[in-house]
Amino acid sequence: MGKRPPGLAVLAPPRDLRASRVAADGDEYLLLSYPLPDWDLPAILSLAEKDVARALLAGAAQSQIARVRGTSSRTVANQIASVFRKLRVTSRMELAARYSGGESGLRARGD
């Protein structure tokens, strides 16, 4: 097993985490909530590309995006390729890592 990077030993709570406990019939339940991602996509993308990128980042499959947008799967594939090319990423995970919100969004791969 490799060395653990400094400061990454444990998972810190998500930003704006809210917590409360619920008492019900003698049992105890915990309610946690945190904001869903607010993707900070650059203006270089067209509106259609932004829509496709947001759907991609929400975990939708290519075929699902095509169905929702009423286009062909091939069109969505082209739009995804265009998004990746413009933003210089190679996967949706890299896309998420780079544009997961504001200035704090990470720049992966040594950017």
Partner 1 sequence: MPPSAVVTAVDACYALLGTERQWIEGLTRAFSPMLDAGFGVAGWAFGVGEWTWDGQLPVGVDSNFGKAMWEAAALMSDEQLLRCFTTGRVTSGAERLGLTKGMDEEAFGGPLALLGLKDLRALTVSDATGRGVALASGLSQPYRTSRREADKLERVSAHLLAGFRLRQSIARIDAVHEPGGRSVHAEGEARQPDHQESLVRAVKAYEQAHGARSVSNAESALEAWEALVAGRWSIVEQFESDGRRYLFARRNPPEAPRGSPLSPVEAHVLLLRAQGLTYKLIGYELGITATTANRVARLGMRKIGVRQDIELPALFRGQLAAALAPLRARSADR
Q: Show the binding pattern over residues 51-90: x = contacts partner 1 (CB under 8 A), - = does not.
A: ------xxx-------------------------------
State the nearest-atom distance from the C-beta of 99 to partner 1, in Å.
8
Interactions with partner 1, residue window 16-35 (CB under 8 A) = 16-25, 27-35
Distance in angstroms (rounded) separating the CA atoms of residues 79 and 49 = 6
109 CB contacts (<8 Å, ≥6 apart)?
94
Pick between residue 79 and residue 98 the one whose CB is nearest to partner 1: 98
Residue 41 binds to partner 1 (criterion: CB under 8 A): no
Nearest to 57 by CA among 21, 110, 18, 93: 93
Q: Whose CA is closest to 100, among 49, 46, 40, 45?
A: 40
Closer by beta carbon to partner 1, 38 or else 43: 38
The reply on whether position 42 binds partner 1 by CB under 8 A is: no
**Rounded CA Rg of the chain:** 19
